[in-house]
């Protein structure tokens, strides 16, 4: 019963995540980007660069620090990777409270959704690699399937789901490492 249930849950979650990715808000216009500093920086929650600080004989390009030369969206992708690693570990422990795990799995999905929405507002050459985002969507689907594996008040996942979670986590980590290496 579990393998069939997991396949159905994964398929439904993938369909709903794909629907979220398709039904995103329209891209911001130039006026909208100028009025929202977070949108101008291309990263939600990150401050936009300040052109007034660049006026002291330097251009804004010269004020870029090595940390800001990181690939766009790398910090958010790293946060997602760390969260998914922790969730995979907790799913395999057999003693994780189901309620807390479900909340964290939803948080992963929402962070991924926000990342995908902000990625759509970037120019095509600065967008995140689609294979990496798809791996993260698959990871989200597997995490939601794990959240449904509840025995009593704890998460107890079948061995095949744990194997899929670990395999998908390694794909996400490899994809993120490759994305990071492109900019080094």
Q: pLDDT tens-digit profile of 23-70?
A: 443 333 344 434 434 444 444 444 444 444 344 444 444 444 444 456
Dist CA 45 CA 38 (whole Å): 6
User: Contact at 8 Å (CB) between 183 and 69?
Assistant: yes
Number of other residues whose CB lies within 10 A of the CB of residue 89: 13
User: Contact at 8 Å (CB) between 72 and 121?
Assistant: no
CATH of domain 2-27+71-182: 1.20.1420
Higher pLDDT: 71 or 63? It is: 71
Q: pLDDT tens-digit profile of 122-162?
A: 888 888 899 999 999 999 999 999 999 888 899 999 999 99
Q: Where are the beta strands (DSSP E) in the chain?
A: 96-97, 150-151, 154-155
**Cβ partners under 8 Å of residue 109, min gap 6:** 17, 140, 143, 144
Report phi then psi at 92, rounded to 5: -80, -10
pLDDT at 29: 38
Number of other residues whose CB lies within 10 A of the CB of residue 62: 8
pLDDT at 6: 54
Least confident of 6-10, 68-72, 74-78, 150-154: 6-10
In angstroms, what is the C-alpha Rg of the chain?
19
pLDDT at 182: 84
Instruction: Please work out, in degrees rounded to the nearest 5, the angle formed at the alpha carbon of residue 115 by the alpha carbons of 162 and 111.
Output: 50
pLDDT at 70: 65
pLDDT at 173: 95
pLDDT at 184: 73
Higher pLDDT: 8 or 117? It is: 117
Q: pLDDT tens-digit profile of 96-123?
A: 999 999 999 999 999 999 999 999 988 8
Q: Are strands 154-155 and 150-151 parallel, antiparallel or unpaired?
A: antiparallel
Tokens coding 114: 């926000």
pLDDT at 160: 95
């Amino acid at each position: 019963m579990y393998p069939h249930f997991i396949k159905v849950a994964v398929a439904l979650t993938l369909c709903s995540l794909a629907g979220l990715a398709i039904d995103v808000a329209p891209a911001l216009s130039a006026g909208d980007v100028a009025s929202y500093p977070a949108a101008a920086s291309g990263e939600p929650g990150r401050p936009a660069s300040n052109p007034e600080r660049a006026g002291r004989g330097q251009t804004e390009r010269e004020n870029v620090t090595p940390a800001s030369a990181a690939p766009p969206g790398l910090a958010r992708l790293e946060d997602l990777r760390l969260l998914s690693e922790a969730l995979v570990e907790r799913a395999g422990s057999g003693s994780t409270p189901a309620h807390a795990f479900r909340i964290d799995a939803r948080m992963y999905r929402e962070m991924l959704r926000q990342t995908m929405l902000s990625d759509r507002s970037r120019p095509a050459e600065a967008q995140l690699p689609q294979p990496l985002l798809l791996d993260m969507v698959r990871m989200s689907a597997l995490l939601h399937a794990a959240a449904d594996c509840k025995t009593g008040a704890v998460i107890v996942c079948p061995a095949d789901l744990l194997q899929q979670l670990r395999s998908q986590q390694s794909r996400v980590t490899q994809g993120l490492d490759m994305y990071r290496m492109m900019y080094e």
